Amino acid sequence: MAMKASAEDRRLVRLTKIYLALPEAARDYNGQHADFKVRKKTFAYFLNDHHGDGIVAVTCKVLPGNHKVLDCGEIDWDEVSELVIGSYRLVAPKGLAARVAQP
Q: Per-residue pLDDT tens for 6-15?
A: 578 889 999 9
Mean pLDDT for 80-100 is 91
CB atoms within 10 A of CB 66: 11
pLDDT at 5 over 50: no
Domain region containing 52: 10-97
Domain count within the chain: 1
User: Could you tell me which residue, 4 or 6, shows the higher pLDDT?
Assistant: 6
Residue 86: inside a domain: yes
**Strand ranges in 3-96 using DSSP code E only, listed in sequence order:** 25-29, 33-38, 41-48, 56-60
Asked, for residue 25, whether it belongs to a domain, the answer is: yes
Tell which residue, 76, 90, 91, 41, has the closest CA to residue 58: 76
- Would the CA dihedral through 6, 42, 26, 40 be positive or negative? negative
Model confidence pLDDT, tens digit, residues 14-59: 999 999 999 999 999 987 899 999 999 999 999 998 888 888 888 8
Q: Which residues pair with 58 in a beta bridge?
A: 46
Q: Does the pTM of the predicted model rise above 0.85?
A: no
57 domain residue, yes or no: yes
